[in-house]
Structure 1
Amino acid sequence: MTEKIGRQRPAVPSDAQQRWLKMGLSQAGGKLPLFDRNGREIPARTIQSCLEHGWAEPWFSNPIKPDWLVCKLTDKGRAALGVKP
């Protein structure tokens, strides 16, 4: 049995991930929101997956709500959206 050797295709953000990441394009420093446009909290699963792919990174700790992870869009995240850094 032979194995195919080659490059893996780069990960592509899901629709939910893209919606969240795109919100950082218009914010100062690429800040990503904790809530969507309807006031619903962004799912932790979406945020964690984007962090794991390097599309977002933690920005700072929120002293009022330490359990909230404030993130910003990375250059890799911009590239995943097709935007030049």
Structure 2
Amino acid sequence: MNETTAADADAAKSGSAGARPTAGQLKWLARGLNQAGGKLPLFDETGQKVSSRTVTACIDRGWAEPWFNNPLKPDWQVCKLTDAGRSLFDEAGH
């Protein structure tokens, strides 16, 4: 997601207590809500690779977790939504 920039990195540094996801993080996390096992996409709707900052920030905050290693692309982290990630949408009434 190209709209996720340094805001994701700054948000990750601030700690997870009471942290709120950025718009880009929410958009990415929301895509796991209706996927089997909560699988999060590697690419956005336009085919661009999801920013590693977005992925790292969401993992650091406990909203996503690594699911398995991708043997074809070891540098790409396949993740899934966590219960904490799902709760972001329960709180927001989504």
TM > 0.5 fold call: yes
User: Structure 1 segments of 4 or more deviating over 6 A?
Assistant: none
2:73 maps to which residue? 65
Partner amino acid, structure 2, of 1:27 = Q
State the TM-score, normalized to the length of structure 1. 0.84
1:7-26 counterparts in 2 under 5 A? 10-26=18-34
Residue 80, structure 1, aligned to residue 88, structure 2: yes
Cα offset for 1:81? Answer: 2.2
Count of residues in Structure 1 that have an aligned counterpart in Structure 2: 76
Larger Rg: 1
Q: CA RMSD for the aligned pairs?
A: 1.5
Structure 1 stretches lacking a partner, 5+ long:
1-8
State the TM-score, normalized to the length of structure 2. 0.76
2:49 maps to which residue? 41
Identity %: 56
1:50 maps to which residue? 58
How far apart, in 2, do the equivalents of 1:16 and 1:81 lie?
14
Structure 2 stretches lacking a partner, 5+ long:
1-16
Q: Say which SS state the counterpart of residue 75 (structure 2) adopts.
A: coil
